[in-house]
Amino acid sequence: MRGSGLSSSLPRPGGVVLAALAVALCSRAVPIGAASPPLSLEARVSGSQVSVSGAIPRGQDADALGQAVLEALRGGMRSEMVVQLRLYERERGIAGLLGDRLLREAVIVRTAHRDPFDGLLVMDERVDGLDRPPRALADEGALLEALFRIQEVGILRLPERPRGDLYLAARYRLSPIQLSGSLRIVSLFFDVGIRTSEWSRVAGIGEDT
């Protein structure tokens, strides 16, 4: 008798265990104390649109994060980087005690993997909910450059009549090993290298417009 289609979609316990072990081994590439350098950030206003550029600054910590990504890809895993961009309006007076007002928010999601058939390094990208064409990268260095850098992403729009000073804030979360489904339980027992940066800020948005 044939089983239901549902049962075929359930993960096999043995496969989950093996995958969990692989995740644990790959996660050793990121030292537990490794820091997450904040994004170096720039913003340019054209009309009513804010274009954002930025990157994870080069250095020892960035090198450790990059090595973790490469180790995961070599092991057949996927890596993910999520960038949050927020446009705030600074509140004045008593209203400022409750925090500044969030005007716009956008999210960039990047996923890197090695194609199992031709061995190409590929980066998928979703910007503010819209998928962009996958990018094939020539080598590991080019992949890290694409993954860790934002180039003129114009996804935030200025309000018509801001009441206060505007500023941009951004941070990223890097998951050298992208966990999904039943594998998420692995993060409860192992440091899988997920790192979240502090917020970076750019003040004076729109003052020259």
Q: Is residue 97 part of a domain?
A: yes
Residue 137, C-beta contacts closer than 8 angstroms, at least 6 positions apart: 120, 121, 122, 123, 143, 146
208 in any annotated domain: no
Would residue 168 count as lying in a domain?
yes
Higher confidence at residue 52 or residue 97? 52
The pLDDT-based confidence of 13 (bands split at 50, 70, 90) is very low
* 144 within domain boundaries: yes
Number of domains in the chain: 1
209 inside domain: no
The band of 76, judged by pLDDT with boundaries at 50, 70 and 90, is confident
- Give the residue numbers spanning the domain of 181: 5-203
